[in-house]
Structure 1
């Protein structure tokens, strides 16, 4: 039986090994890492999936900031990565982790300001993320604009830069 626990309860090296397996060591070169910068994941929004004590999945959430071309900066929460052990993918673990992270965002009053980079068909269908407000956003690395997704009433619409908080 899979249990979800706060990510802080899991050894950091185990999390890093899982991320390497799920996304390969080159993951650190991805745009999402540049957006997050050197931030620390938000502990209250980050979770691990354990099966008989073995780490099989994680979700992390990060403080980021949207700086519009005109106006004041807006703090946001970047969801992801959602990582699942390759041999356990398609078991619903990632979905359970997302549901838990989104519930925690609601509990902490930040579910109106979420952003992620991911598959719009999946994250839109199951979790309500869209690219309708992010079309004018710039990131510190390459991005397929249709994969830059957001959810919530506090998400800004317009031109600006998404980067570290």
Structure 2
């Protein structure tokens, strides 16, 4: 089984390589990246999955201000393309959600597919009137714990 560790213990170049493989090198222009400019990842909510020395998955959370509220932005949630479909994303999401109460159980937001992230309590209902920088689909702006 892959080892779950705090993401700050993983070399940044390994994280960046995983994110490039999972999302492409143009990922920095996406709305989620624009939201977190100038922020540092929330260490207690950010994790990596190692298979031996290889990083096969990661999750990061960032403090952001959206819709008049300060929230934890969940994402990116990345799994190496050759390891997808093996429930690594589930494990990463549960690690973050299980850790959230240790820092006050912040309200969380993410940009993702409601069909997938709904199982973790994320829904677009509370974000109907929000606006974001860059292109985004309102149905994919998901909120939890608001």
- Alpha-carbon separation, structure 2, partners of 1:140 and 1:57: 27
| Matched residues, number | 146
Alignment of 1:146 with 2:139, yes or no, is yes
Structure 2-normalised TM-score?
Answer: 0.96
- Alpha-carbon separation, structure 2, partners of 1:10 and 1:29: 24
Secondary structure of the structure 2 residue equivalent to 1:137: coil
Structure 1-normalised TM-score?
Answer: 0.86
Give the gaps of 5 or more residues in structure 2: none
* Residue equivalent to 2:108: 114
Aligned alpha-carbon RMSD (Å): 1.0
Larger RCO: Structure 1 or Structure 2 (Cα < 8 Å, ≥ 6 residues apart)?
1
* Residue equivalent to 2:11: 11
TM superposition shift of 1:67: 4.8
Matches within 5 A, 1:98-137: 98-111=93-106, 113-124=107-118, 126-137=119-130
* Residue equivalent to 2:87: 92
Which structure has more helix as a fraction of its residues?
A: 2
Whether contact under 8 Å (1:31, 1:141) holds in the other structure is yes
- Alpha-carbon separation, structure 1, partners of 2:63 and 2:4: 22
4+ aligned runs moved over 4 Å, structure 1: none
